[in-house]
Structure 1
């Protein structure tokens, strides 16, 4: 999409089929739009009064001007002192309303906030229609932003939106079309375009490297697992971050098989891996001066004849052993290997993302991720990054006394705890594999799959985590790692 900054609403109105006007409380029109609003006449003011539009955040109203250009004005409420996500959502509402228009314009409501507007608009027009016989993609090919802004901010917003859409595409792809090695192929293409270094680990490598968790989960599948390793290594980087994403390409539950209804969305159980790879793409394209390692362990979890059985013991990358009592608690097994491998490279901090537990979704619902970890400063940073990115996270505790729920006489630990606090005991298992590295775990079981179409979100894979990770790395680039008190 062509994105252009223009100086006046009159110019935008002469070129765009739809013009979005941004208002705060009391119909305080933003970005110098008062003159253009006045030109619309009393009919526009009466229409807004009739529908109760007051400029509150989330409000919108479409008005037919009766003239040739533009034929529609969309009033968008952002409330008082709007933050990035309020603007992102307003742009998303406009993007949905104007998806059939070739050229759309919008007021730059807040100086320096072009990036979230571009993100919201582009993300709202996303659709996954690969398998539809009559796809109906958005038709907008030109976005005009009215007011003072920076071209670099517009480009940054487009880069992030593109990365989120890449992740959404991967998550939404049916499981039969995204075997681990097929995902590896797609990542290789992306890495070449983005200037990332890719290393891949196939079954012989995994066997030689002692990745017993990943191989144990993969044992029941007829599709080979792999570990994708991406590197972004800019010159002069002072901070080194490792990102790890759970990549279960389809989760049947293994021999602890899921009921049919619970399997319906399990093509999306690799959302953590998709988020990490998408974030790596954006970080490289934005040229953020931070060294980043991205790891995506990829496998199916299937009940084949050689599947890991309840009671089996797996030896992981760092030598610790896990008794598998429920094969449907498999994500923590592949993350254990990947986290242990990441530690060997000596990062300053680590973050993992995973659709890990239904317990976290029970606790926080379907739009908020849980965040846990061993470093208060890092968790604070992730909370702030999520707020800026429009991806809500909520801190959960890691009670030391809950660790005993993982005790077993058969091994160093078992892969499930008791009935309660499942999100916490899962994270406590992961903590066994991070050593002394500052680490945070995001359980994205809820927000990885969006259940409805609204503002800039579309039903299906959400790409949750891409924007938070990019925002986190950008913050580290600006301020340094600072992860210890």
Structure 2
């Protein structure tokens, strides 16, 4: 990753800023400071969210960024600011120092606005340069100063928002770095080492299980997937204890799929389908990254995460279609397609998470191509065994600016996973509804009575083109949703879930 930009707060734009952003609402283009509407019309600028127009007089560039129509509130307003921040930094790649003048008619409260804007600035400027030759890495934007006016209280409030936004964006960037790293480099042992090191830096406890410990823990699904690999698997458990935690502090468990490269195993993928399979650990990356941001955000709930890690490869010991393994809870599983391996490792992690007796479990996984077919590459599928908890996760995603859509777990589809030789098989014989039957498979490994939500992030975890603050390549999708969920745990904030979902354009 290139060095993240430094976001500061000041009462006025610094003299060294060679580019300044001003926000413009689509219905107020005649009120843009320093730029006439006629000039905006000439370049076709409409003020749509995420658009930008640059006017450069040779001394300082003025960049007008679109905020959409005025009057937006809630997640629509904060999402507009994130996208405006990303549009700005992408419009000024040759500048080193810039400023962003916050509009006078800002809708969200200042701390919320500056948090969202900081997220957009940092994530929009993200680059993965780790594998480029040094002479091929060009310097980018180093500093953006948010201009908030002469009020000292406003400066302090804005700085709080910036600090929180930087913590969130830093976690997302860490997840992106992990996913963007090739599978031959980020092996399971390397992944576990990086996760544990980052966790310990911030005060999160890390426990790493090697192959012997995984076998001793009877994690049959993880062992089965790893059989075809020459590289040992790992399972990483991270634990965050909030300050002042006691016996009555609830626990939330997170689970993430960590397939560091997926060839499909003996059910081999076509060559074209393998090219981006370094991203098949995007769920684990998001979970680990979110865990490392919890201390900075001061989250009040205890959080524990389980991320199983292995590649899915082919050798003489690889599991064969028709093989049966035994999971930690005693369930026997017939594997009919070795390319449906993510659910096997997730099942073991869900069992471990359930043994923590948590208030709820959330898992993230790049699980099914069927979800990408159904929802495209910008929206994650959301499934749950509890309607209230599904609504809570959907609300968190809306506030975080990450798009999800609820999908059902129909009980009458569950018999499609009945096996003739074992307790359950890993795929249905039906060629359709693969996302739903994958979710139903996972549900069988969740402890009774525990609210659980599953996010299939196969689409939005890795993009071919940037989208707002989401980068091309790894996006770190899910980190912000998890953090919004955990920050708001137990809070009665009165958000209307349907209204929040509608603001993301999904109704």
TM-score range relative to shorter protein: over 0.9
1:100-144 CA-partner distances (Å, limit 9, x unpaired): 212111122433210110011111111112222244355222211
Per the TM alignment, residue 83 of structure 1 is displaced from its structure 2 partner at its CA by 1.8
Q: Which moved more, 1:202-211 or 1:236-245?
A: 236-245
| 1:196 equivalent in structure 2 | 204
| 2:97 equivalent in structure 1 | 103
1:392 and 1:59 mapped to 2: Cα distance?
20
2:442 and 2:390 mapped to 1: Cα distance?
16
Are residue 439 (structure 1) and residue 452 (structure 2) matched? yes
Which of 432, 435, 445 aligns to 1:423? It is 435
Per the TM alignment, residue 396 of structure 1 is displaced from its structure 2 partner at its CA by 0.3
Are residue 167 (structure 1) and residue 175 (structure 2) matched? yes
Q: 1:432 to 1:224 in 2, by over 3 A?
A: same
| 2:18 equivalent in structure 1 | 17
| 2:301 equivalent in structure 1 | 290
1:138-196 CA-partner distances (Å, limit 9, x unpaired): 52222111113421110010011111110001001011101111111111210121110
| 2:292 equivalent in structure 1 | 281
Whether the 8 Å contact between 1:21 and 1:106 is mirrored in structure 2 is yes
Whether the 8 Å contact between 1:27 and 1:54 is mirrored in structure 2 is no
1:376-418 CA-partner distances (Å, limit 9, x unpaired): 1111111111111121000000000000000112111000012
| 1:126 equivalent in structure 2 | 126
Whether the 8 Å contact between 1:126 and 1:138 is mirrored in structure 2 is no
Whether the 8 Å contact between 1:239 and 1:476 is mirrored in structure 2 is no
| 2:7 equivalent in structure 1 | 3
1:335 aligns to what SS in structure 2? helix
1:355 and 1:399 mapped to 2: Cα distance?
21
Q: 1:426 to 1:138 in 2, by over 3 A?
A: farther
CA RMSD across the alignment: 1.8
2:15 aligns to what SS in structure 1? helix
| 1:247 equivalent in structure 2 | 258
Are residue 143 (structure 1) and residue 154 (structure 2) matched? no
Q: 1:166 to 1:263 in 2, by over 3 A?
A: same
Whether the 8 Å contact between 1:289 and 1:477 is mirrored in structure 2 is no
Whether the 8 Å contact between 2:209 and 2:234 is mirrored in structure 1 is yes
Whether the 8 Å contact between 2:189 and 2:234 is mirrored in structure 1 is yes
Are residue 400 (structure 1) and residue 394 (structure 2) matched? no
Per the TM alignment, residue 20 of structure 1 is displaced from its structure 2 partner at its CA by 0.5
Q: Which moved more, 1:415-424 or 1:376-385?
A: 376-385
| 1:334 equivalent in structure 2 | 345
2:477 and 2:406 mapped to 1: Cα distance?
17
Q: Which moved more, 1:454-463 or 1:177-186?
A: 454-463
Q: How does 1:27-426 map to 2 (within 5 A)?
A: 27=28, 37=33, 40=34, 44-66=36-58, 68=59, 71-79=60-68, 80=70, 81=72, 82-109=76-103, 110=106, 111-112=109-110, 113-133=113-133, 134-147=135-148, 148=154, 149-237=157-245, 238-417=249-428, 418-426=430-438
TM-score by length of 2: 0.89
Report the count of equivalent residues: 466
Whether the 8 Å contact between 1:408 and 1:414 is mirrored in structure 2 is yes
| 2:496 equivalent in structure 1 | none
| 2:483 equivalent in structure 1 | 470
Q: 1:106 to 1:338 in 2, by over 3 A?
A: same
2:488 aligns to what SS in structure 1? helix
TM-score by length of 1: 0.93
Whether the 8 Å contact between 2:196 and 2:207 is mirrored in structure 1 is no
1:416 and 1:130 mapped to 2: Cα distance?
38
Q: Which moved more, 1:178-187 or 1:53-62?
A: 53-62
2:288 and 2:210 mapped to 1: Cα distance?
18
Report runs of 4+ in structure 1 exceeding 6 Å deviation.
Answer: none
